[in-house]
Amino acid sequence: MRYVSTRGDTPACGFEDALLAGLAPDGGLFLPEAWPTLSAGEIKALGGKSYPELAAVLMMPYLNGEIGEDVFAELVAEAYRDFEGEAVAPLVELEPGLWLLELFHGPTLAFKDIALQVLGRLFDHVLSKRGERVTIVGATSGDTGSAAIEACRDRAALTVFILHPQGRISEIQRRQMTTVGSENIHNIAIDGTFDDCQALVKALFADGAFRTEIRLAAINSINWVRVMAQCVYYFSAGLALGAPEREVVFSVPTGNFGDVYAGHVARHMGLPIRRLLVATNRNDILARFFESGVYRKSTVEPSLSPSMDIQVASNFERFLFELLGRNGAAAAALMADFLERGEFALDARRMAEAQALYRGFRVDDAATLATIAAVARESGRVVDPHSATGIAAAKSLREGDEPVVCLATAHPAKFPDAVEQATGERPVLPARLADLMTRPEWCSALPNELGALRDHIRSAARAGQGLREGVA
């Protein structure tokens, strides 16, 4: 299984190279050359496997024979060892035929742990095998930073710097990052906004000499491994509800289109998925696209589901490439249009194909709160604002009594203010995080200046293990 770029201008490469590169050299995203498919009989035979066993079997064909089966199975088992409960991704019934797939039982209480725990270990494994090390630098507005830190802590081949906007993320989000006392983890609070943090990271990557000097790498939402790891829970839910005999609808809270695209991949692999519901908050570029066929950028506005406050869905390019018959030049032309004019449109034939599988749905803050309140009242379950958008979409778009699985992407205690506003009760952190608010923090504060950031990373990376900063 080799990997090609969505912009068609990169020679096919192996799994490890796609993993380490993240983004393809032509600016596109990596996708497998062909989809590994399972027959109905093969899907049936997956029933009864534990989540880690299922994950290892489903991901194995993507490794291009570059990592041994036993090594990979052990790596995956370890990735899910720290999840609360055996199931990893438990499925619970909200009301007849409407299910909640809980993806928030990992170390940072959001679904990103499911992929990043695998990605961090794969990075470390492949680099150690090659005798290499990298420096990972990323910016976060919340969930991704903590998930990346938890995934990379104590891994010998990785040094990690995560930038966050000082005073602009919640205390829980900050503490999930700054209380990780590993010597390879460096938190940096930037005196600026999230956009400033992202601009700094982009500028670092654009500096070729610096990039080579410290072997800069990214663990971001476009890495193929994230999609590959996420398609597993579509299978676990589908199998629990009767696949391959029974078709299921999934409703997915969406930002970068990574999670919902993983469902698309599961369908390519043979899982019977009837439809994918693309739930957005007020930042509704994707909901608008699936209604109108026009992909048009607008400004990002803050919402109660901040991890979905995105107007350019990076993983969307993978879907587009496929919709265009895997024509990389055509995908590149549309992306160039989008960069230049902030929009592009697809023809009716292509949109009919897209709409056969996908439905978009926009949920504003008021409807999000109303959904959290209604779910609590009717089922006694408390859901977070991201998960609530998916549930709202499912309730509106469900046809007849077809089974719908709503992906629950974060633990309610991660977003206590919105949940309290909706239900009148403040959700409590799970016991293993109960002391989060009193743990010591490690973080450096820096001005919004590229030079200062570069110097800081250079000296910390050179000091290697052992350099840690005091409490912010």
Ligand X SMILES: *Cc1c(COP(=O)(O)O)cnc(C)c1O
Residues noted as catalytic? 112
The answer to whether 255 contacts ligand X (rule: CB under 6 A) is yes
The answer to whether 275 contacts ligand X (rule: CB under 6 A) is no
Q: Which listed range, 116-124, 172-180, 254-262, 331-339, lies at the site for ligand X (CB under 6 A)?
A: 254-262
The answer to whether 308 contacts ligand X (rule: CB under 6 A) is yes
The answer to whether 31 contacts ligand X (rule: CB under 6 A) is no
User: In the stretch 104-123, what mask flags binding to ligand X with x, by CB under 6 A?
Assistant: ------x-x-----------
Work out which of 307, 368, 371, 423 binds ligand X, going by CB under 6 A. Answer: 307
Strands of 91-95's sheet in order across: 91-95, 98-102, 404-408, 248-253, 273-280, 358-362
Q: Which is nearer to ligand X, 57 or 172 (CB)?
A: 172
Query: CB of 23 within 8 A of CB of 43?
Result: no
Q: Is the CA virtual torsion 364, 365, 367, 372 positive or negative?
A: positive
Q: How far is the CB of 143 from ligand X (least distance, A)?
A: 4
Identify the three-state secondary structure at position 399. coil
The answer to whether 56 contacts ligand X (rule: CB under 6 A) is no
Give DSSP secondary structure letters for 404-455: EEEEE-B-GGGSHHHHHHHHSSPPPPPGGGTTGGGS----EEE-S-HHHHHH
Site for ligand X in 415-454 (CB under 6 A): none
The answer to whether 309 contacts ligand X (rule: CB under 6 A) is no
Q: Which listed range, 68-76, 131-139, 248-256, 327-335, lies at the site for ligand X (CB under 6 A)?
A: 248-256
Q: Which listed range, 149-157, 170-178, 250-258, 367-375, lies at the site for ligand X (CB under 6 A)?
A: 250-258
Query: CB of 433 within 8 A of CB of 109?
Result: yes
Q: Which is nearer to ligand X, 104 or 442 (CB)?
A: 104
Rg of the chain (C-alpha set): 21
The answer to whether 256 contacts ligand X (rule: CB under 6 A) is yes
Work out which of 176, 251, 371, 409 binds ligand X, going by CB under 6 A. Answer: 409
Measured CA to CA, the distance from residue 10 to residue 260 in angstroms comes to 26
Q: Which is nearer to ligand X, 133 or 386 (CB)?
A: 386
User: In the stretch 218-247, what mask flags binding to ligand X with x, by CB under 6 A?
Assistant: ---x--------------------------
Residue count, binding to ligand X (CB under 6 A): 16
The answer to whether 254 contacts ligand X (rule: CB under 6 A) is yes
Site for ligand X in 192-221 (CB under 6 A): 221
Look at residues 312, 330, 314, 318 and name the one whose alpha carbon lies nearest to residue 31.
318
Omega of the bond leading into 244 within 30 degrees of 0 (cis): yes
Q: Which listed range, 13-21, 64-72, 253-261, 317-325, lies at the site for ligand X (CB under 6 A)?
A: 253-261
Query: CB of 467 within 8 A of CB of 203?
Result: no
Give the Cα-Cα-Cα angle 468, 206, 159 (nearest 5 degrees): 25
Work out which of 259, 309, 317, 322 binds ligand X, going by CB under 6 A. Answer: 259
β-strand partners of 187:
162
Q: How far is the CB of 464 from ligand X (least distance, A)?
A: 31
Measured CA to CA, the distance from residue 169 to residue 172 in angstroms comes to 8
What are the structure tokens assigned to 363, written together? 């949920």
Look at residues 414, 337, 341 and name the one whose alpha carbon lies nearest to residue 383.
414
The answer to whether 166 contacts ligand X (rule: CB under 6 A) is no
Which amino acid does the sequence have at 462? R
Work out which of 16, 113, 124, 143 binds ligand X, going by CB under 6 A. Answer: 143
Query: CB of 229 within 8 A of CB of 57?
Result: no
Q: How far is the CB of 408 from ligand X (least distance, A)?
A: 9
The answer to whether 177 contacts ligand X (rule: CB under 6 A) is no
DSSP H helices in 179-327:
194-206, 208-214, 224-240, 258-268, 285-292, 316-323
Q: Which is nearer to ligand X, 192 or 253 (CB)?
A: 253
Measured CA to CA, the distance from residue 263 to residue 34 in angstroms comes to 16
Q: Which is nearer to ligand X, 169 or 453 (CB)?
A: 169
Q: How far is the CB of 395 from ligand X (least distance, A)?
A: 18
Interacting residue ranges for ligand X, rule: CB under 6 A = 110, 112, 143, 221, 253-259, 307-308, 386, 409-410
